[in-house]
Amino acid sequence: MLDKLKDIFYDKNDIIVALALVVVAGFIITHQVDAIMSYPERLAEELQQEQQEQQDPLGGSAKPGGEEITDPGVEDQPGTVPEVQPPVVDEPVTPPEQDPEPPVVQTPSTEFKTAVDRTVEIPSGAYSQKIAQILSEAGVVPSQDAFLNKISEAGLETKLKAGTFKIPAGSTLDDVVKIVTK
C-alpha cells in the first residue's frame, strides 16, 4: 500500500514539475515579448525628446498655444508682472578655437560634394536620424533630410553601420551613403 502511494506521488510530482517549468518559461517569454514590443515606442519617445531639444537648445519650453511655461517656483499673482532680470555678463565669451568649417562645393547642377577629407565616428546603436545628424554636422551631407531621403529611396535604412569612416574630399551624397552602409 505504501509503495502504491509512493508511486502515485512520484508520478504526479513529475507532472507538477513539468507544469511549473512551463509556467516559468511562459512568464520569461511574455516578459521578453513586452520588452521587444515596447522598444519602438521608447525609441519614438527618445527621438521626439531629441527633436524638442534641437528645436529649443536653451532648454526653455512652451505650451502648444505659444504660452511660456514658467518655473515651478515662480508664483503668478493676478495683476502682477514677474520681474525679469537681464543676464549678467562679466567677460565677452569667445568660442574655442576650432577648425573652420570647410566650404561646401556646389557644382552648376547643385550636386553636393565635400570640400575636405573628414573622419566621422558613428556610435554603435545609433539610429538613422542620429546618423544623419552626425553626418550633417560634420559637413559630409547637404542636410539630414537629404541623407534620410537618399537611404530611404535606396532601401538602406537597415544597412547603416557603426564605426569610424573616412569621407574623402569630393564625395557626393551617394558616395557617403555607400561608405556608411558597407
**Structure pTM?**
0.42
Residue 94 lies in a domain: no
Determine phi and psi for 34, rounding to 5 degrees.
-60, -40
Average pLDDT, the chain: 76
pLDDT at residue 178 in the model: 93
DSSP track, the chain = -HHHHHHHHHHHHHHHHHHHHHHHHHHHHHHHHHHHHHHHHHHHHHHHHHHHHHH-TT---B-TTSPBPPPTTPPP-TT-----PPPP-SS---PPP-PPPPPPEE-TT--EE-SS-EEEEE-TT--HHHHHHHHHHTTSSS-HHHHHHHHHHHT-GGG---EEEEE-TT--HHHHHHHHT-
Q: Is 172 in the same domain as 109?
A: yes
Cβ neighbors of 164 (< 8 A, separation 6 or more) are: 119, 120, 121, 122
pLDDT at residue 74 in the model: 46
Reported confidence tier of residue 12, pLDDT bands at 50, 70, 90: confident
Contact present, 53 and 47 (Cβ < 8 Å): no
Residue 62 lies in a domain: no
Last residue of a domain, one of 53, 70, 88: 53
Q: Is 113 in the same domain as 174?
A: yes
Contact present, 163 and 155 (Cβ < 8 Å): no
pLDDT in tens, 92-136: 555 555 555 555 444 444 578 888 899 999 999 888 999 999 999
Last residue of a domain, one of 53, 75, 95: 53
Residue 148 lies in a domain: yes
Q: At what angle do helices 144-154 and 173-180 cross, to 10 degrees?
A: 70
Does the pLDDT value for residue 179 go beyond 50?
yes
Q: Based on the structure, what is the number of domains in the chain?
A: 2
Last residue of a domain, one of 13, 32, 53: 53
Residue 24 lies in a domain: yes
Domain at 149, CATH number: 3.30.1490.480
pLDDT at residue 87 in the model: 60
**Which single residue is written with the C-alpha cell 564625395?**
171
Range of the domain at 21: 1-53
What dihedral do alpha carbons 31, 34, 36, 41 form, nearest 10°?
-150
Residue 45 lies in a domain: yes
Q: How far apart are CA 30 and CA 150, in angstroms?
A: 38
CA atoms within a 13 Å half-sphere pointing along the CA-CB vector of 127: 9
Residue 71 lies in a domain: no
